[in-house]
Amino acid sequence: SQQGEEDPQALSIQEGENATMNCSYKTSINNLQWYRQNSGRGLVHLILIRSNEREKHSGRLRVTLDTSKKSSSLLITASRAADTASYFCATDYYGNNRLAFGKGNQVVVIP
Amino acid sequence: NAGVMQNPRHLVRRRGQEARLRCSPMKGHSHVYWYRQLPEEGLKFMVYLQKENIIDESGMPKERFSAEFPKEGPSILRIQQVVRGDSAAYFCASSPPSGGPGAQHFGDGTRLSIL
């Protein structure tokens, strides 16, 4: 079964607002990762959270992980137009960095 | 440092033709992963290779698809007798031998269109 399934979502917000997106997965994991994909480009790794961590910060990004609910959230604070992209969560479901991705969240930040 | 290079960026083929997609990993990376992305979908794992070795091809369709990563040169994903359903973006990622989680770097993909 596909891991890292997030509810596909399209989010449109004003610059300066916060953007929150969610991800759920099905089996136990070692870590969960978030990626960004700009239109027509490859994926860029944003942040990784390990299964024994509950929250992690990186710049304007905040990731939470709830292993009891098998879910994660990504918060982008003070959004900018340049944050317009699709955001994917992924788990190392198959091992050895063979990632299983969700369907993505499309975020549009309006200047 | 050049990132993961994929070419061509766009490829158009007619049904029944062959498609060859190339991926040059980052310098020092000996692990290559291929993924396929259908429109409005996330990436789906296809195959994991090391130099001259296919480690895991469990995500590859059983027929028409093959991949290689020779000792010299880029990794090649080959699709024979393409069909309309093969239209997708194909992404390659690479990681170093000691790469832990999050160590993958992705190329910008090849967008394959089948007429």
* Confidence at residue B79, expressed as pLDDT on a 0 to 100 scale: 98
Mean pLDDT across B75-94: 97
- Chain A: nearest CA to B24, how far in angstroms? 14
Mean pLDDT across A29-39: 91
Q: Do A104 and B42 touch (CB under 8 A)?
A: yes
- Residue to substitute from B45, B53, B91, B111, interface A, most A β-carbons within 10 A: B45
Average pLDDT of every residue of chain A: 88
- Cα–Cα nearest to A21, from A32, A29, A30: A32
> What's A38-104 look like in SS3?
CCCCCEEEEEEEECCCCEEEECCEEEEEECCCCEEEEEECCCCHHHCEEEEEEECCCCCCCCEECCC
- Chain A: nearest CA to B1, how far in angstroms? 16
Is the pLDDT higher at B1 or at A61? Answer: A61
| pLDDT tens digits along B6-30 | 999 999 999 999 999 999 999 989 9
Inter-residue contact A2 to A103 (CB < 8 Å): no
Mean pLDDT across A16-45: 91
pLDDT at A1 over 50: no
Report yes or no: A98 at the B interface, CB cutoff 8 Å: yes
Residue appearing with tokens 């090649």: B76
pLDDT at B32 over 80: yes
* Confidence at residue A53, expressed as pLDDT on a 0 to 100 scale: 96
Mean pLDDT across A23-40: 90
Residue B61 confidence class, pLDDT cut points 50, 70, 90 = very high
Report yes or no: A58 at the B interface, CB cutoff 8 Å: no
* φ and ψ of B85, to 5 deg: -65, -10
Q: Do B45 and A94 touch (CB under 8 A)?
A: yes
* Confidence at residue A29, expressed as pLDDT on a 0 to 100 scale: 86
Residue B92 confidence class, pLDDT cut points 50, 70, 90 = very high
- Chain A: nearest CA to B74, how far in angstroms? 18
First CA to last CA across chain A, in angstroms? 39
pLDDT at A30 over 70: yes
How many inter-chain contacts (A to B, CB under 8 Å) are there? 66
* Confidence at residue B98, expressed as pLDDT on a 0 to 100 scale: 72
Residue A43 confidence class, pLDDT cut points 50, 70, 90 = very high
